[in-house]
Amino acid sequence: MLPKETITSKADIADADIPEPIAVVYRHPDFIVIDKPIGISVHKDQQLSGLPDWVAQQTGDAKLWLVHRLDKITSGLLILARNSAAAAEFSRLFQTHKIEKHYIALSSGKPKKKQGMVTGDMAKTRNGSWKLCRSQTNPAVTRFHSVLCEPGLRLFHLMPKSGKTHQLRVAMKSLGSPILGDQRYGDKTALDRTYLHAYALKFEYRGEKIVITQLPHSGKYFLRAEVQQQLLRLTIDCTTD
């Protein structure tokens, strides 16, 4: 079981100057893939340049284009295009669902089902969060499966088939298993982070098949031995499909 904690979540702290270089995990003449840390917005705010500008300074690129997004509380793989033609191509790939995205999450809640699909329209609530509806007009679709790592701690492999705001967080809440540390969507435990990580991307770019994986390196529950064993199995499965 998970102990009660009173650690302030990094995702709740306002963005400060990015303290260290962002890890570049894949380089291509047309794009790079970075490992975005938690607690960093991909957008500009009043004080800071956006993440693409910061990474461009680090890599020496004149400009980098943001072609998809991760929530501030989510760590993991983020593609940045190195030219406008590549940005347009990635926009097409995402719009036509040609990029396979894989996420991992931890939860202390017992899910209504251990694997399957979560589908439904999403509607905004009065407090600015989102909820899953029964209607299927333009549904958010998430495929998932899960495995128990230890009593009170379950690992979820999440594969979104659409790209709605807060889709995975809402899907997990609807299963009765809010993401560990996600206080907005039902987990009231204050932890060192929200346990959602974008860990794999699979796609074909101009005839080249590309598979990129990056396991989380922050968050003490992600680093537990039982969780690491399951993540290793997941990575092997993902790269051998």
Out of 3.30.450.20, 3.30.70.1060, 3.30.2350.10, 3.90.25.10, the CATH code matching 13-96 is: 3.30.2350.10
- Is-contact 188 8, C-beta < 8 A? no
Catalytic residue among 35, 71, 182, 192: 71
In this predicted structure, the answer to whether residue 212 has a pLDDT above a threshold of 70 is yes
pLDDT digits (tens, 9 = 90+) for 19-68: 578 999 999 999 999 999 999 988 665 444 589 999 999 999 999 999 99
Instruction: Say how far apart CA 219 and CA 207 lie, in whole Å.
Output: 36
Give the 3-state secondary structure percentages of the chain, helix then strand then coil, rounded to 5: 20, 30, 45
Distances (CA, A) of 167 to 36, 118, 159: 19, 10, 11
CA 138 to chain centre: 22
Residue 4 is predicted with a pLDDT of 41
Say how many Å lie between the first and final Cα of the chain, rounded: 33
Look at domain 100-202+212-241 and name its CATH class. Answer: alpha beta
Nearest in space to 214 (alpha carbons), one of 35, 64, 65: 35
Of all residues in the chain, what percent carry a pLDDT higher than 90? 78
**What are the sequence ranges of the domains in the chain?**
13-96, 100-202+212-241
Residue 23 is predicted with a pLDDT of 95
Which residue(s) pair with 140 in the sheet?
Answer: 120
Residue 237 is predicted with a pLDDT of 74
Q: Do domains 13-96 and 100-202+212-241 have the same CATH topology?
A: yes
pLDDT digits (tens, 9 = 90+) for 145-182: 999 999 999 999 999 999 899 999 999 999 999 999 99
- Is-contact 35 76, C-beta < 8 A? yes
The residue whose two tokens read 């340049």 is 49
237 classed as catalytic: no
